[in-house]
């Protein structure tokens, strides 16, 4: 039997409910909605960050980002290149190491800790250490190459336009593979062992077990790692600042360094905000595509 709730009681309940939501809503509005509104507002203005007046430019900043700024698109390509390397090499290494540690390897706990050390280090510190490793004259890398009789390969890795971007990508991958390793290892450990036991009884070899059990069971984890890799790598910043500052020329510029350079180097706050929104839209589109593809594959399987 339904009992009619008096409107006063309903109202009171709603007020009470709103009261619980209000603090979180206020914080969200204050630290997410309002800043986003300000960024959107600034993106249609030309403002130097200090002067009392800002000039309305409409979609001029967006047009400039999209059609007249070759350095911006160059920087997007650089981030994409590093992301492609991270998706393949970094995550490949992370998977191999996770598979190795997932077996009852002696000292497995030790390796788990060691592999997880680089991600917890500061990006600036990592960058500075790799500066010494890559140094053209006194770096360990060139020293090792000379020791191996490969002295002709020695160079100033971070200052050579041909190697700077990949050298930076290598640092990023070294720092980042531990994240993927930990997540992939957790995924591997969540696969029920009886599946492998049954397959073994059926005569499946190691490759077949990997191909037909590990890979399908790990698909959601692969997607999680991939999406984190894409979002994390596209926003690479600290390592660039600590190694090349975007140089030589524009060879290691990435979107975030461009946004900072236009905001603080050129005092173009509006343009930087427009760049940020365009970059945010790119990341959102990539994420949506990835989620859609992952759903499709999960459904198929």
Query: What are the residues binding other proteins (CB under 8 A)?
Result: 16, 19-20, 22-23, 26, 46, 48-57, 60, 64, 68, 131, 135-138, 155-156, 158-161, 164, 243-245, 247-250, 261-262, 264-268
Which single residue is written with the structure tokens 């009470």?
A: 16
Cis peptide bond upstream of 248, omega within 30: yes
- By C-beta, is 36 or 59 nearer to other proteins? 59
Alpha carbon distances (Å) from 220 to 189, 200, 224: 14, 24, 6
Q: Which residue number, 124 or 186, has a Cβ lying nearer to other proteins? A: 124
- Closest CB 97 distance from other proteins, rounded Å: 31
Nearest CB to other proteins, comparing residues 232 and 247:
247
Neighbours of 123 (CB within 10 A): 20
- Tokens 């957790």 correspond to 186
Which helix (DSSP H) or strand (DSSP E) does residue 46 occupy?
strand 45-46
Count of beta carbons in the 10 Å neighbourhood of residue 180 = 30
Neighbours of 126 (CB within 10 A): 20
Provide the minimum distance between the beta carbon of 28 and other proteins in the complex, in angstroms, as a whole number: 13
Closer to other proteins by CB, 178 or 255: give it: 255
Assess contact for 212 and 218: CB atoms under 8 A: no
Residue 262 contacts residue 43 (beta carbons within 8 Å): no
Count Cβ atoms below 10 Å from residue 42 Cβ, excluding itself: 22
Q: Which is nearer to other proteins, 29 or 298 (CB)?
A: 29
Determine the 3-state secondary structure of 56 from DSSP: strand
Which residue, 35 or 108, has its beta carbon nearer to other proteins? 35
C-beta of 196 vs 250, nearer to other proteins: 250
- Please tell me the total number of residues recorded for the chain in this structure: 301
Torsion from C-alpha of 123, 125, 129, 134, nearest 10 degrees: 40
Least CB distance from residue 30 to other proteins, whole Å? 8
For residues 226 and 221, give the distance between their C-alpha atoms in angstroms, rounded to a whole number.
Answer: 8
Smallest distance from other proteins to CB 133, Å: 12
């Amino acid at each position: 039997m339904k009992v009619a709730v008096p409107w006063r009681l309903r109202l009171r309940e709603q007020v009470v409910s709103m009261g619980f939501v209000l603090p979180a809503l206020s914080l969200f509005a204050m630290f997410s909605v309002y800043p986003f509104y300000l960024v959107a507002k600034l993106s249609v203005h030309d403002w130097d960050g200090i002067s009392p007046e800002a000039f309305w430019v409409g979609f001029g900043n967006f047009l400039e980002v999209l059609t007249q700024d070759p350095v911006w698109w160059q920087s997007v390509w650089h981030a994409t290149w590093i992301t492609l390397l991270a998706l393949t090499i970094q995550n490949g290494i992370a998977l191999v190491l996770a598979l190795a540690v997932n077996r009852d390897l002696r000292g497995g706990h030790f390796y788990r800790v060691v592999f997880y050390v680089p991600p917890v280090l500061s990006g600036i510190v990592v960058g500075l250490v790799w500066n010494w490793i890559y140094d053209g004259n006194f770096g360990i890398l060139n020293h090792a190459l000379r020791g191996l009789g490969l002295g002709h390969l020695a160079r100033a890795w971070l200052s050579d336009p041909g190697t700077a971007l990949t050298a930076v990508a290598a640092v990023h991958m070294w720092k980042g593979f531990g994240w993927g390793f930990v997540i992939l290892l957790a995924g591997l450990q969540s696969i029920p062992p009886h599946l492998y036991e049954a397959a073994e009884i059926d005569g499946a070899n190691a490759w077949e077990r990997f191909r037909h059990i590990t890979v399908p069971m790990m698909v959601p984890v692969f997607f999680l790692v991939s999406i984190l890799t894409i979002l994390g790598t596209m926003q690479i910043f600290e390592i660039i600042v600590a190694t090349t500052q975007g140089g030589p020329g524009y060879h290691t510029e990435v979107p975030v360094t461009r946004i900072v350079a236009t905001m603080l180097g050129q005092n173009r706050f509006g343009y930087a905000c427009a760049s940020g929104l365009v970059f945010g839209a790119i990341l959102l589109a990539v994420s949506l595509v990835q989620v859609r593809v992952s759903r499709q594959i999960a459904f198929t399987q």
